[in-house]
Amino acid sequence: MTEQHQRKFVYGRRKGPKRSAHQAALFETLLPRIAWRTAEAFAGEVWLEVGFGAGEHLLWQAKQHPTVTMIGAEPYEGGVAKLLSKLDGEPVSNIRIHMGDARDILAALPDASLGRVFVLFPDPWPKTRHHKRRFLQTAMLDTLALKMKQGAELRFASDDAPLVDYTLERLAAHPAFTWTAARAADWKTRPQDWPPTRYEAKQLHGVPAFLRFVRKLAT
């Protein structure tokens, strides 16, 4: 199976409800202005959110850190439409949107260029035959280790216990990452600089876990 063939299985549907006239206009006018481009260079810190949903977390981080470029990847058109609507009423200049696969961004970014990576409440893909669709697999951790700066932070959250265990197992075994948790409260409680999202509020599968891993320093 080729890499291109494998990639189409990583996320689910792309189409959402029919866009309103206002949303359609934003896709034509606003999105091209803030779309991520492979050739664009960023002078300061760059953070990446993989699957930003409706964009609440991405927008909050961008507003709290105006000198950081926030790149958000989201293949679902409905989520992109929601974020565009928010940005239309409250323009934020340090956001870039890629309506597609986050691996497109990772492939184009220079090595050691990311200061933070967020993977928050992804689809758990609970069936064993679908585990290959989970984003944080060992090969992806190899890529992130290459693209993240030393000391950069990888944040992961999920309310699906099997997915949390799956992710912890792979991250704990990876030589480039170390878990920051010193006690249970460190992963059971959402940090103050980690705003809630609508997916966290739903708690469809259970109590959320908030994992923070750091790209190890070279020895």
Neighbouring C-alpha atoms within 13 Å toward the C-beta of 25: 5
Question: How much is the average pLDDT of 99-105?
Answer: 96
Q: If you write DSSP's letter for every residue of 93-160 in order, what string do you get?
A: TTEEEESS-HHHHHHHSPTT-EEEEEEES-----SGGGGGG-S--HHHHHHHHHHEEEEEEEEEEES-
Please tell me the pTM assigned to this model.
0.90
Q: Is 64 helix (H, G, I), strand (E, B) or coil?
A: helix
**pLDDT band with cut points at 50, 70 and 90 for residue 1:** very low
Q: Which residues are catalytic?
A: 123
CA-wise closest residue to 74 among 87, 84, 88 = 84
The more confident residue out of 188 and 16 is: 188
Mean pLDDT rounded to a whole number for the chain: 89
pLDDT at position 219 over 60: no
Q: Which two tokens stand for residue 159?
A: 């309310």
Element (H, E) at 185: helix 185-188
Condensed to tens digits (0 to 9), the pLDDT of residues 117-144 reads: 999 999 998 899 989 999 999 999 999 9
Spatial contact of 200 and 164, defined as CB atoms under 8 Å apart: no
Q: Which CATH superfamily is domain 47-215 in?
A: Vaccinia Virus protein VP39 (3.40.50.150)
Taking the C-alpha atoms of residue 147 and residue 106, their distance in angstroms, rounded to an integer, is 7
